[in-house]
């Protein structure tokens, strides 16, 4: 996604420019879903800052799933540094083939990774499969608030490539695209879009069988 390695991305972006957005997104996720116990997946979570932020305000056991082994190692490092190594772990994996049993997860979150999934429809189907009845998904990309977006834009003002790629991802993945995916999968949910971000939000009905 960026012309820097995982360690540099962790330090300069996740702990730097984007540092403030993860606690805010975590707060929004929990306020919306009400999920505070059980198991959570931070899908495509990179170095795990969203998952760690969620662990800080809940009792959830969080597993960060990422394609890169370097990110798995960074999650473990970051969670230990933040004092949450006992509730935040990581493993390699992809959205299209989640290494979890049916109906085993209470909350799936993902910020910024769906744009890079090989097959978005299959990835969303997998998320639905692993959710327990009553479980929630909060997937998309955003900055928490418009004010935080403006802060990030200021910090990245000398990086026009970042702005170009962000606009390109938004153009290729409009809200209508995600609504169509949910419809094809038979998933009842919402796609909320505003300047600060776009989020796919759904809950697995209690009566649905795996």
Task: Give tens-digit pLDDT for 27-45.
Answer: 999 999 999 999 999 999 9
Give pLDDT, residue 72. 96
How far is the C-alpha of 101 from the C-alpha of 191, rounded, in Å?
26
83 is written with which tokens?
Answer: 């004092």
Q: What domains are there in the chain, each with its CATH number?
A: 6-203 (3.40.50.150)
Q: Answer yes or no: are the C-beta atoms of 45 and 69 closer than 8 Å.
A: no
Radius of gyration of the chain (CA): 16
Predicted pLDDT at 155: 75
Q: Determine the pLDDT at residue 43.
A: 99
DSSP line for 130-149: HEEEEEEEEEEEE-SSHHHH
210 residues of the chain, pLDDT tens digit each: 334 555 554 544 455 568 899 999 999 999 999 999 999 999 999 999 999 999 999 999 999 999 999 999 999 999 999 999 999 999 999 999 999 999 999 999 999 999 999 999 999 999 999 999 999 999 999 998 889 888 887 877 677 676 667 677 777 889 999 999 999 999 999 999 998 899 999 999 987 555
- In the prediction, which pLDDT does 26 show? 98
Q: For residues 158 and 155, give the distance between their C-alpha atoms in angstroms, rounded to a whole number.
A: 8
The confidence score (pLDDT) of residue 8 equals: 54
CB 144 within 8 A of CB 111: no
In 3D space, the residue among 73, 167, 53, 75 whose CA is nearest the CA of residue 115 turns out to be: 167
* pLDDT, position 146: 86
The pLDDT score that the predictor gives to residue 151 is 86
pLDDT (0 to 100) of residue 6: 59
pTM of the model: 0.87
Pairwise CA distance, residues 181 & 69, whole Å: 29
> In angstroms, how far is the first alpha carbon of the chain from the final one?
34
Is residue 107 within 8 Å of residue 41, measured between CB atoms? yes
69: part of which helix (H) or strand (E)? helix 69-81
How many residues would you count in the chain? Answer: 210
């Amino acid at each position: 996604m960026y012309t820097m390695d995982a360690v540099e991305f962790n330090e300069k972006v996740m702990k730097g420019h984007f540092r403030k957005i993860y606690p805010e997104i975590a707060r929004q996720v929990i306020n919306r879903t009400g999920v505070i116990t059980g198991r959570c997946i931070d899908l495509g979570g990179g170095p795990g800052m969203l998952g760690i932020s969620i662990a800080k305000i809940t009792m959830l056991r969080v597993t960060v799933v990422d394609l890169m082994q370097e990110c798995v190692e960074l999650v473990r490092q970051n969670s230990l540094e933040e004092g949450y190594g006992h509730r935040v772990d990581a493993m390699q994996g992809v959205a299209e083939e989640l290494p979890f049993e049916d109906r085993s997860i209470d909350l799936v979150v993902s910020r910024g990774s769906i744009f890079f999934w090989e097959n978005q429809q299959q990835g969303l189907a997998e998320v639905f499969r692993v959710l327990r009845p009553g479980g929630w998904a909060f997937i998309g990309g955003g900055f928490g608030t418009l004010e935080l977006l403006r802060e990030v834009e200021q910090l990245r003002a000398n990086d026009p490539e970042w702005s170009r790629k962000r606009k390109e991802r938004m153009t290729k993945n409009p809200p209508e695209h995600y609504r169509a995916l949910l419809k094809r999968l038979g998933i009842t949910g919402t796609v909320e879009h505003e300047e600060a971000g776009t989020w796919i939000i759904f809950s697995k009905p209690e009566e649905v069988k795996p």
